Homo-oligomer: A and B are copies of this chain.
Amino acid sequence: MNTQTVTVGKKVSFGGFNIPVISGPCSVETRDQILTAADCAKEAGATILRGGAFKPRTRPESFQGLGLAGVDLLCEARDATGLPIVTELMDVRLLDEFLNRKVDLIQVGSRNMQNFDLLKELGKTQTPILLKRGLAATLDEWLAAADYIASGGNEQIILCERGIRSFEYSYRNTLDISAIPALKARTHFPVIVDPSHAAGKAALIPSLAKAAIAAGADGLIIEMHPNPAQSWSDAEQALSAQDLSSLIHDLKKVALAVGRDIS
């Protein structure tokens, strides 16, 4: 099936010849951290900035994110670098705040893939949506979740494979690489891959990222932190700016090998 393009910000398109890389830290932590991260991401060749302001943490005592203050810092980083931003919306009551701040790409996280009231509200907007696959969601269920958004009138949807839960315990999740060609045959929505959450370990990310491009992914979302060891969350899976830069360099070669380019 032909893939439609979804444009984020003014000029970053998913679903065409170019393969954008989204990067940035797991969480927005401080003004300095996110501004530095944005510079690093841009410098390395990423074209969209990620950063969690509302964090879906398993335990209530874990750091829950800076909230709207974090979104504001992302906006400031956007202004400074020109990079569009993506961040996760968990609470439907905050949608207007996201729209007011013109978040360029609103992420629906794995745990909310079937938060149908949230999906319905997002369907009424015209903002591009990054819909992550649920941890144990079938492709049928994932596409049905996208239909909740699309049937409301918003077809600006990007699907993100981020690993499924399996019995293997030596990595955080199991990247389902087969989902890429299987989705391509069934939907016109672009499909991107999050190797960071799939792996949960920085050392595995380059292989998974290259595999994703080779398998036909339309984009990547990769966690990078200016100082990985001091990351407030998911430190084990964060690349350094240097690692990211080097990885994007390598990814370009793989992209060219399959007739595309990273950009």
Interface residues of A (CB under 8 A from B): 56-61, 90-93, 111-112, 114-117, 120, 135-136, 138-141, 144, 147-148, 151, 164-171, 174-182, 185, 198-199, 203-204, 206-208, 210-216, 250, 253-254, 256-258
Contact = CB atoms under 8 A, between A and B. Distances in A.
A51 to B, nearest CB: 18
Given A139-B170, A164-B174, A178-B198, 10 more contacts: A58-B114, A138-B168, A164-B167, A166-B176, A171-B178, A177-B177, A181-B207, A181-B208, A210-B214, A214-B254
Contacts of A92: 91-93
13 contacts: A58-B141, A58-B144, A59-B147, A61-B151, A90-B115, A93-B117, A135-B136, A136-B165, A139-B170, A164-B167, A164-B168, A180-B211, A256-B257
Contact of A211 (B141, B148, B215): B215
A3 to B, nearest CB: 14
A28 B60 CA distance: 34
A199 B171 contact: no
Contacts of A60: 116, 120, 144, 147-148, 151
A147 to B, nearest CB: 5
A141 B136 CA distance: 14
A214 B174 CA distance: 17
Given A117-B91, A177-B208, A253-B258, A171 B167 contact: no
A106 to B, nearest CB: 15
B258 A210 contact: yes
A84 to B, nearest CB: 25
A169 B208 CA distance: 23
Contact of A176 (B120, B174, B250): B174
